[in-house]
Amino acid sequence: MKIVNIKSHDFKKVNLVTLKKGGDNYECSVCGCKGYRSPFQDNLTLTEKEFKKSLKCSFQQPISKRPKKVLIVDLKPELNLPEGTYDVVDCPAHQDKKFKHDVWVFNDARGEPCRILPHEIISKFF
Residues lying near Zn ion in the complex (CB under 5 A) are found at: 9, 28, 30-31, 57, 59
CA torsion 106-102-9-33 (nearest 10°) is -90
Shortest reach from residue 71's CB to Zn ion, in Å: 20
- Closest CB to Zn ion among residues 36, 59: 59
Shortest reach from residue 61's CB to Zn ion, in Å: 12
Shortest reach from residue 66's CB to Zn ion, in Å: 17
Burial status of residue 47 (CB atoms within 10 A of its CB: 0-12, 13-18, 19 or more)? middle
- Closest CB to Zn ion among residues 54, 107: 54
Cα atoms in the 13 Å half-sphere on the side-chain side of 7:
16
SS3 of residue 107 by DSSP: strand
- Closest CB to Zn ion among residues 99, 109: 99
What is the C-alpha to C-alpha distance for residues 69 and 88, in angstroms, rounded to an integer? 5
- Closest CB to Zn ion among residues 9, 119: 9
Shortest reach from residue 12's CB to Zn ion, in Å: 11
